[in-house]
Amino acid sequence: MPLELKRRLGHLDVYKISKMGDKELGDVFKKPPALHRYVNKMAHWIKSACIKLVTEYSGRAENIWSDTKQASEIIRRFDDFEGISQKKSTMATNFLADYFKIPITGWENIDISVDVMIRRVFKKVGLVTEDASDDNIIRKARELKPSFPGDLDYPCWDIGRYWCLPERPLCYYEDEKGKDYCPLVNECPNARK
Amino acid sequence: MQTSEILEREKRIIDRLSEYKRKYGMGLENAFTNVQEAEAFVKTD
């Protein structure tokens, strides 16, 4: 989405976007193919984020994390953006710390970023019960990997996306190219041939 | 299932997930059209 938004606007200048009218920016999002399922809401959140960046971070996103090393503080700052919740704030901090190697401390505060894929894998493999809440999943991930609960995020998400499908999970999969199986198949009580 | 069996099973799950991440990274490797540009952005002082 950022790349396509840049193509349509001709820039990703937070100062310019923060001054755009709601309808003007909404129309950019609506142009087919629409940039998001909820175009008006997403356009509003992007403009709101740009205003916050301009007013609180001198117009530079990296100022969100450049003057602190604490993961909990960076997560709190992301959470302060309109439209951002636990999933995105922990995921962004996870990427900064683990992928981009920004010097961040307190990785124990980087929780798993719960979404539909994470929920499905945790429940199907029996790490939590079927009626578990997102908070239950977050607590379970902390229990499983206290030093860095967010470390479980990407593998679970990927397994949920490729193997642990809602209707017909590909626990064991075979086609003309060969055999494949879910990495958790030997530990999963719901695995089926 | 005994508590010790549950803990052993959970440890095996963590091992499988860690192994998966070691093998496939974090899924961001193909997320940017220009990785150098993205890395330069987040590392700007």
Predicted pLDDT of residue B43: 59
Does A189 share its domain with A117?
Answer: yes
**Which residues of chain B are within 8 Å of residue A125 when distances are taken between CB atoms?**
13
CATH code where residue A158 lies: 1.10.1670.10
User: What is the mean pLDDT for each group of 10 consecutive residues in chain A (193 residues)?
Assistant: 89 96 94 91 96 97 95 98 96 94 96 96 96 98 97 95 91 80 92 80
Does A189 share its domain with A134?
Answer: yes
Nearest to A155 among B9, B17, B44 (CB): B17
Residue A52: domain span: 2-61
* Whether residue A166 has a cis bond before it, omega within 30° of 0: no
Contact by Cβ (8 Å): A172, A181: yes
Q: Quote the pTM value.
A: 0.87
Does A82 share its domain with A145?
Answer: no
Does A43 share its domain with A17?
Answer: yes
Mean pLDDT to the nearest integer, B18-34: 75
Residues 6+ apart with CB under 8 A from A72: A106, A109
Q: Considering its fold, how many domains does chain A have in total?
A: 3
Return the bridge partners of A179, or none: A174
Chain A interface, best mutation among B42, B43, B45, by max A CB count within 10 A: B42
